[in-house]
Chain A
């Protein structure tokens, strides 16, 4: 026991221990963090409900009104969330009933791609905040291939997807090479590159070549049909081929990290760069490679946007996926399977947004608050352990590393 405490404090001292503890927290902590945030979310829903506030003014003359208003607010919110994200029993046809879940998977796709990339980085000890910029650059390059070039079916999509991966990879390579050669901290560099990517895209969208003919709005033409991800389950569902590709990437990421020599090097560099160097590994090459792979995956998240759902470039093409993906990667404990599940959870939370507003009359921000609460609880494992009386952690990362 004292042994483990010593290891923990040692790791804290070098500053990376905390990140690793968060990135590789126990499954139980993750599950309870989600439950805790749902409970806190209910309290916020009650507080945000006008009916409850109205009924509370005459609480003592008829308390039942207040409680039924509270119950109604919370239940209608979670029912709307369920119907908006998973299954809508009011849909006329079976297709309409399961459409919400298909929407969830569609929204999960960019989160899944970007989360996988970030997860690989986290396990290699690189705290990459740059997925946002990498998504933007991927979408920009791939989108340009999509709307400006005229190519045959199949080849066009392939080149557009590769363009997305390349755009993201370039944006990952820059902080990677800077870190490897000069020691520039990847957090600072990637954050700054996010701004550069966003402003670069905003500027490109002022150019004639990136605008629709006859319009000066900062919005690109739609990508050609030949460059769009085909819909995998027919026209009634928004789910596109990008999701299948994302699942393949998840398998690829698992194989890379768990089965390949390269992945072993990445993990070794993450666990202890000095030891990895002593063992004869090329740490600099590993850092650059990790960032390039992470960037390419984030770029593919851009492809899910520009070739899958949005179909044209605007300055908001990346939405907030680059930052949400950080949460997804942390929630998924940086493991591919965990990231798949976390991405679907977050996809569901996002997909439920419209139903929450329209059906339950809740502000859209409540979804953001629940997401943020999950992050808060994940980032504070002792708090979750205290709340749910969980046992102290047994450091399984010795096994992992």
Chain B
């Protein structure tokens, strides 16, 4: 026994030693680097920072998408970045203060939970610019930009696609929590199905949301809860489901692929790219491009063009959108989508639940 441990220890040490054998970098390398190599973008004297909510930057949902926007800004604009992750709600204010003290020029707050803390930090630091995801102030604060999204618009299109594609006449949806940034998707989806029924005289039913109450997992990380909720809906005859709960949607993918003949509609980002192994059961995805909005807000500020005007991502400015629709859906439906999209943009079609 002792020998085995000794041999193991020797092996481990030699592995470590071998791993440590590469040569040291040249002392002068770093200075040569910055003058000789062409940087991806000119380094500018600007620091953009971000505070997550309690979900953290690895939440596979809006914190993470926003963080990707920040990373993209770092790469594309050549700016410095810094981040502070909030372990819980108590840290929003202190994290914002720490980033202000660190010299950040622009601070992105992730989510409505940071609303009060961001307003307080903005008031105390009028020279620092802020932007906040999924939230807008009324009246607007001078140095805070709200980044909001008309998620109901692409969801309306998704509802229309789902209603056209269902074989059972029942489509489903559920949310992570009953909060406006989630129910916006569900409202649009319901309205899209209703629009299909009006236009074609169909009678497709929506399970899981009636415009005010519906099914929720009460969590954005409980994948099994999403799976069991989806199974319940499949048992009721639902064959297309829109999970509006970030990573919990993976539970829907599992349940749908086990049940067969069931489609899932992705949210936030393109699920067909995110969950490649399930690509054949993904009907389409409702895109909410938080990353693009974050990067644009930072880019504007770098250019000296910061404004506190609220940003609203719409189909028109492509801040939201619908991903490619699966081939199984009739080409005629895809064509109609273009017409409906144009109708939503020019205002002739209302995406509100009637």
Q: Which A residues fall within an 8 A CB radius of B?
A: 56-62, 65, 84, 103, 107, 199, 202, 206, 214-219, 222, 305, 309-312, 314, 316-317, 319-320, 350-351, 353-355, 357-359, 363-365, 367-368
Query: Roughly how many angstroms separate A305 CA and B20 CA in the complex, as a whole number?
Result: 49
Give per-residue flags for B77-119: 1 if the beta carbon is below 8 A from chain A beta carbons, else 0.
0000011111111110111011101100000000011011000
Residues of chain A with a CB closer than 8 A to B138's CB: 214
Query: Is A353 in contact with B91, judged by CB distance below 8 angstroms?
Result: yes
Query: Roughly how many angstroms separate A215 CA and B91 CA in the complex, as a whole number?
Result: 23
Residues of chain B with a CB closer than 8 A to A216's CB: 179-180, 183
Number of B interface residues in the complex (CB < 8 A):
38
Asked whether B332 is an interface residue with its Cβ less than 8 Å from the other chain, the reply is no
Asked whether B273 is an interface residue with its Cβ less than 8 Å from the other chain, the reply is no
Query: Is B102 in contact with A310, judged by CB distance below 8 angstroms?
Result: no
Query: Is A309 in contact with B90, judged by CB distance below 8 angstroms?
Result: yes
Known pairs A61-B23, A103-B94; list 14 more (Cβ under 8 Å).
A58-B23, A59-B21, A60-B20, A61-B24, A84-B98, A217-B179, A305-B90, A316-B89, A319-B88, A350-B90, A354-B95, A358-B82, A363-B85, A368-B87
B57 to A: closest C-beta gap in Å: 10
Residues of chain A with a CB closer than 8 A to B82's CB: 358
Residues of chain B with a CB closer than 8 A to A314's CB: 89, 113
Give per-residue flags for B305-342: 1 if the beta carbon is below 8 A from chain A beta carbons, else 0.
00000000000000000000000000000000000000
B133 to A: closest C-beta gap in Å: 13
Partner of A217, one of B22, B88, B94, B112: B112
Query: Is A107 in contact with B84, judged by CB distance below 8 angstroms?
Result: no
Residues of chain A with a CB closer than 8 A to B23's CB: 58, 61
Query: Roughly how many angstroms separate A351 CA and B87 CA in the complex, as a whole number?
Result: 12
Given contacts A214-B138, A311-B116, A353-B94, contact A60 B17 (CB under 8 A): yes
User: What are some 23 contacts across the A-B interface (CB < 8 A)?
Assistant: A57-B22, A58-B23, A58-B24, A58-B25, A61-B21, A216-B179, A217-B180, A218-B178, A219-B112, A219-B113, A310-B89, A316-B89, A319-B88, A320-B87, A353-B87, A353-B91, A354-B84, A354-B97, A355-B98, A358-B98, A359-B98, A364-B86, A368-B87
Query: Roughly how many angstroms separate A103 CA and B91 CA in the complex, as a whole number?
Result: 11
Which chain A residue shows the least CB distance to B89? A316
Residues of chain B with a CB closer than 8 A to A309's CB: 90, 93
Query: Roughly how many angstroms separate A350 CA and B88 CA in the complex, as a whole number?
Result: 10
Given contacts A206-B178, A354-B91, A354-B97, contact A58 B22 (CB under 8 A): yes
Query: Is B19 in contact with A107, judged by CB distance below 8 angstroms?
Result: no
B159 to A: closest C-beta gap in Å: 21
A128 to B: closest C-beta gap in Å: 21
Query: Roughly how many angstroms separate A61 CA and B323 CA in the complex, as a whole number?
Result: 52
Residues of chain B with a CB closer than 8 A to A222's CB: 116
Query: Roughly how many angstroms separate A215 CA and B101 CA in the complex, as a whole number?
Result: 32
Given contacts A60-B17, A214-B138, A312-B116, contact A317 B89 (CB under 8 A): yes
Query: Roughly how many angstroms separate A373 CA and B52 CA in the complex, as a whole number?
Result: 26
A91 to B: closest C-beta gap in Å: 9
Asked whether B54 is an interface residue with its Cβ less than 8 Å from the other chain, the reply is yes
Given contacts A206-B178, A216-B180, contact A316 B20 (CB under 8 A): no
Partner of B94, one of A61, A219, A351: A351
Query: Roughly how many angstroms separate A57 CA and B218 CA in the complex, as a whole number?
Result: 45
Q: Which 5 A-B pairs rank lowest in CB-CB distance, beginning with the nearest?
A: A59-B20, A354-B98, A316-B89, A319-B88, A62-B24
Residues of chain A with a CB closer than 8 A to B54's CB: 316
Query: Roughly how many angstroms separate A100 CA and B318 CA in the complex, as a whole number?
Result: 44
